[in-house]
């Protein structure tokens, strides 16, 4: 991963963390369950664009931003650049 990509990911995560107000309060979706079964913690959950729900997943060594589809079945590696 090049420096620009790392910077963009870090900036996106920092920005999302600053505006995220909702914690994971709903039922665990099948997509989240797949992460949890691998020992990954979902540290934040909040509404995203186009009906998606964004989550911050923490593996203990790194954090990643995912979007979950409205039906809760699919995870998308996410970086929203424009809406």
In this prediction, residue 11 carries a pLDDT of: 62
The SS3 assignment for 56 reads strand
**CA 74, CA 64: separation in Å to the nearest integer?**
15
Strands (E), 1-83: 41-47, 53-58, 63-68, 75-77
pTM, two decimal places: 0.63
pLDDT for residue 54 = 93
Residues of the chain with pLDDT under 50: 15-25
Q: pLDDT of 29-46, one tens digit each?
A: 999 999 999 999 999 999
Question: What is the pLDDT, as a whole number, of residue 27?
Answer: 84
């Amino acid at each position: 991963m090049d420096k620009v990509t790392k910077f963009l990911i870090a900036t996106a995560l920092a920005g999302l963390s600053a505006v995220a107000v909702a914690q994971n309060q709903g039922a665990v979706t099948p997509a989240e369950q797949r992460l949890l079964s691998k020992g990954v913690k979902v540290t934040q959950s909040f509404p995203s664009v186009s009906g998606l729900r964004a989550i911050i997943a923490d593996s203990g060594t790194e954090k990643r931003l995912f979007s979950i589809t409205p039906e809760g079945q699919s995870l998308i590696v996410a970086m929203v650049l424009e809406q």
